[in-house]
Amino acid sequence: MQCIVNRRAQFSASHRYWLPELSEAENQEKFGACAKFPGHGHNYVLYVSLVGELDEYGMVLNLSDVKHVIKKEVTSQLDYSYLNDVWSEFQQTLPTTENIARVIWHKLKPHLPVVRIQLFEHPQLWADYTGNDMEGFLTVGTHFSAAHRLAHPRLSDAENANIYGKCARPHGHGHNYHLEVTVKGEIDQRTGMLVDLGALQQVIDDYVVEPFDHTFLNKDIPFFAEVVPTAENIALYISNLLRSPIQQLGASLYKVKLIESPNNSCEIYCENLADGNGNRSTSQPVLTTV
- Choice among 260, 266, 267, 270 that is catalytic: 260
**pLDDT tens per residue, the chain (290 residues)?**
889 999 999 999 999 999 999 999 999 999 999 999 999 999 999 999 999 999 888 898 999 999 999 999 999 999 999 999 999 999 999 999 999 999 999 999 999 999 999 999 999 999 999 999 999 999 999 999 999 999 999 999 999 999 999 999 999 999 999 999 999 999 999 999 999 999 999 999 999 999 999 999 999 999 999 999 999 999 999 999 999 999 999 999 999 999 999 999 999 998 765 544 444 443 455 555 44
- Domain at 132-290: CATH architecture: 2-Layer Sandwich (3.30)
73, 89, 152, 167: the active-site residue: 167
pLDDT at 258: 98
The neighbouring-strand residues paired with 286 are 267
**C-alpha triplet 144, 147, 153: angle, nearest 5°:** 130
Q: Which of 68, 106, 111, 214 is catalytic?
A: 214
Q: Is 167 one of the catalytic residues? A: yes
Considering the segment(s) 1-131 as one domain, its CATH architecture is 2-Layer Sandwich (3.30)
Q: What pLDDT does 34 receive?
A: 96
Please state the domain extents for the chain.
1-131, 132-290
242 φ, ψ (degrees, to nearest 5): -90, -20
Q: What is the helix (H) or strand (E) element at residue 216, kind and residue range?
A: strand 215-216
Strands 252-261 and 215-216: unpaired
In this predicted structure, what is the pLDDT of residue 272? 62
The DSSP line for the chain is -EEEEEEEEEEEEEE----TTS-HHHHHHHHGGGG-SS-EEEEEEEEEEEEEE--TTS-SS-HHHHHHHHIIIIIHHHTTEEHHHHSTHHHHS---HHHHHHHHHHHHTTTS-EEEEEEEEETTEEEEE-SSTTEEEEEEEEEEEEEE----TTS-HHHHHHHHGGGG-TT-EEEEEEEEEEEEEEPPTTT--SS-HHHHHHHHIIIIIHHHTTEEHHHHSGGGGTS---HHHHHHHHHHHHHHHHHHTT-EEEEEEEEEETTEEEEEE-TT---SSS---SPPPEEEE-
In this chain, the answer to whether the domains covering 1-131 and 132-290 adopt an identical fold is yes
Q: How far apart are CA 90 and CA 191, in angstroms?
A: 10
- Give catalytic status of residue 68 as yes or no: no
Rg (CA), the chain: 22
Q: What is the pLDDT of residue 281?
A: 44
Cα four-point dihedral sign 259, 262, 266, 270: positive
Q: Are 49 and 113 in contact (CB under 8 A)?
A: no
